[in-house]
Chain A
Amino acid sequence: AQSVAQPEDQVKVAEGNPLTVKCTYSVSGNPYLFWYVQYPNRGLQFLLKYITGDNLVKGSYGFEAEFNKSQTSFHLKKPSALVSDSALYFCAVRGNTGKLIFGQGTTLQVKP
């Protein structure tokens, strides 16, 4: 069965510093991987996805993610964090029927 794990409940960084939010996956076959962001009392907004091709994927709002097959990871990164990036981040893997299977989420706190 497909699954993702987000090992950190919370990540804290200072504004202007690089950030990393970690995600590992478990799938049979080739993974389709996604990152979403959620602001309080809002739905999920799509950030980026890995389907095939380059291991470094670029997405919205300056975010990128690195797919690493040997480590079964898909970590979300940003070179310079903004206070407005503070939110809840979810990693997801595509399951059968196209549904997405989400991790538990990581709260990102960017301090001024």
Chain B
Amino acid sequence: DTGVSQNPRHKITKRGQNVTFRCDPISEHNRLYWYRQTLGQGPEFLTYFQNEAQLEKSRLLSDRFSAERPKGSFSTLEIQRTEQGDSAMYLCASRPRQGAGTSSTGELFFGEGSRLTVL
């Protein structure tokens, strides 16, 4: 399977614990995005990487959240001291570089998501 891969698919944790999600993008994609989706809502942008550089962070990304993409390949999203309000689906997406010589026209390719439940 050459799609975007996310692990774990489901995580149940107690309030106050730390959790980490991993995203493996499509191999030739240099851009990686994290989104959060709560029940009945559209996905909300959290952060964006171009290669290993984190170029944009949403105001939704509180200081308990940290994301990394150390070698420009896979990415991790860590939530420290989880709260019940963090319960959501965390979606990762990737896309290739746009421009001459590429086939990208802007759509993002999403993984299946990691569902977090904080008790």
Instruction: Show the binding face of A for B, using Cβ within 8 Å.
Output: 32, 34, 36, 41-46, 49, 51, 90, 94-95, 97-105
Contact = CB atoms under 8 A, between A and B. Distances in A.
Given A100-B45, A101-B45, A102-B44, 4 more contacts: A43-B91, A49-B107, A100-B108, A104-B42
A42 to B, nearest CB: 6
B110 A45 contact: yes
Contact of B107 (A34, A42, A103): A34
20 contacts: A42-B112, A42-B113, A43-B110, A43-B111, A43-B112, A44-B93, A44-B108, A44-B110, A49-B106, A98-B95, A98-B106, A99-B33, A99-B45, A99-B48, A100-B33, A100-B43, A100-B45, A100-B93, A100-B108, A104-B42
A51 B113 CA distance: 27
A75 B65 CA distance: 36
Interface residues of B, number: 27
Contact of B41 (A94, A99, A101, A104): A104
A42 B105 CA distance: 23
Contacts of B113: 41-43
Given A34-B107, A44-B110, A49-B106, A98 B31 contact: yes
B110 A32 contact: no
B100 interface: no
B56 A97 contact: yes
Contacts of A51: 105-106
B91 A44 contact: yes
Given A43-B113, A98-B95, A49 B42 contact: no
Nearest to B115: A41
A98 B115 CA distance: 24
A94 B95 CA distance: 13
